A and B are shown apart, each in its own frame.
Chain A
Amino acid sequence: MRSRLRLAALACCALAALTTPAFAGDADCDYVEITATNAKDAKDASIDPELKAVEKKLKKAPFTAWNTFKKLSSGTLTLTANKPDTLKLKQGSSTVMLRGRNPKKVELTVTMDNADGKRILDAKPVVKAGDWLLLVGTNAKDDGHILGLTCR
């Protein structure tokens, strides 16, 4: 009887461990900073070859408002839970913090400041591991500033 109870308890623990998300661990993220503009001449329209990873997305509306996309910066970072990382951007700055994760999803806190240091965005997204998150800002000239982020 005792061994039966032990086995039942073990099964319960194993199952609970499998069904409960493990909100711990690191996340490896890639980011890319993009500037989006409109070339007056359609011949000058282009997408930077270094933006292959997000090229398909940039060809879809509403990104079709622009026809020229250039990579400003990119990088990789390993996020540790509850420790904000600052992304070195060409325009403004951004911080990313891992709030938690499970094998399928990554919980983040993302902030973006403009070139003047003014906070324009503070978001808490929960992103599916491997999916892209695009943060888009526009300026007075309607130029776009895009920060692409994917974590797994």
Chain B
Amino acid sequence: MSKKQHDADLMAFADGELDEKQSRELEDALARDSGARAKVDAIGELGDLLRGHLELGADAVPSKKFDALWREIDKGIEREGVAEPAKAAAVPTEAGGFMRKVGRWFDRYRGHVLTGAVSAGAVAALALLLRNPTPEMRDQQAGSGGGSNKIEPTLVKDTHEPAEIESLDTPDGTGTVFNLEDEDGTTTVIWVTPDDTVEGI
């Protein structure tokens, strides 16, 4: 066995990492070798020292930090303890001012207001999504020819909001829809031309 391997075995023995058989063999060897015995003892002492130091360090650092932390918490509690009665005492004297009341109410119910606002926003978005599209302009013409002429509305984009013709029936005639724009707004015209112009209205 090399010297390095031997030292490694000694360290493993000192740390209790060898199995039973290996430990027994090494113990027999240590009984015969006083130098190796001294090495094992030294390794053990060194390990104890190191562990002790680390434990002490671990105990020391948090306790300092915790002391400071607790002091801060105590101070905070004391400050709030002083401020709350002062605020409570100040409320009745600050009775005046609608905006101040509103501000206080808002401070108190901020969470409620935010919940309400978010809900309202959601409803508004839903309402906008579900709303029927507003037609900007419709320009329709019923087909000519005999019988009843029904036309379907068509959407045409425009900046104004002309009337929307949901249905138009012009029996025995032609119906034309158009819009006139002026400063008064939009005028929607439904123009009926009879197919047989023998008689109108």
Contacts and interface: CB of A to CB of B under 8 A. Distances in A.
B171 A136 contact: no
B166 A125 contact: yes
B123 A145 contact: no
Contacts of A62: 191
Contacts of A45: none
B79 to A, nearest CB: 29
A114 B128 contact: no
Interface of B: 109, 111-113, 115-120, 122-124, 127-128, 131, 161-173, 175, 180, 182, 184-194, 197-201
B190 A19 contact: no
Contacts of B189: 133-136
Q: How large is the interface on A (under 10, 10 to 19, 20 to 34, 35 or more residues)?
A: 35 or more
Contacts of B169: 121-123
B185 A131 contact: yes
Given A120-B194, A138-B200, A19 B128 contact: yes
Max chain B C-beta neighbours (<10 A), residue from A56, A60, A137: A137
A119 B119 CA distance: 51
Contacts, number: 163
25 contacts: A4-B116, A5-B115, A7-B113, A12-B119, A12-B120, A12-B122, A14-B120, A15-B123, A60-B182, A92-B201, A112-B201, A114-B201, A115-B201, A120-B192, A121-B173, A122-B171, A123-B169, A124-B167, A131-B162, A134-B188, A136-B190, A137-B194, A139-B194, A139-B200, A145-B201
Given A116-B199, A140-B199, A135 B190 contact: yes
Given A123-B167, A136-B192, A140-B199, A16 B123 contact: yes
B105 to A, nearest CB: 12
Interface string A3-33: 1110111111011100110000000000000
A57 B164 contact: no
A10 B116 contact: yes
Contacts of A60: 180, 182
Contacts of B116: 4, 7-8, 10-11
A91 interface: yes
A84 interface: no
A123 B161 CA distance: 18
A116 to B, nearest CB: 7
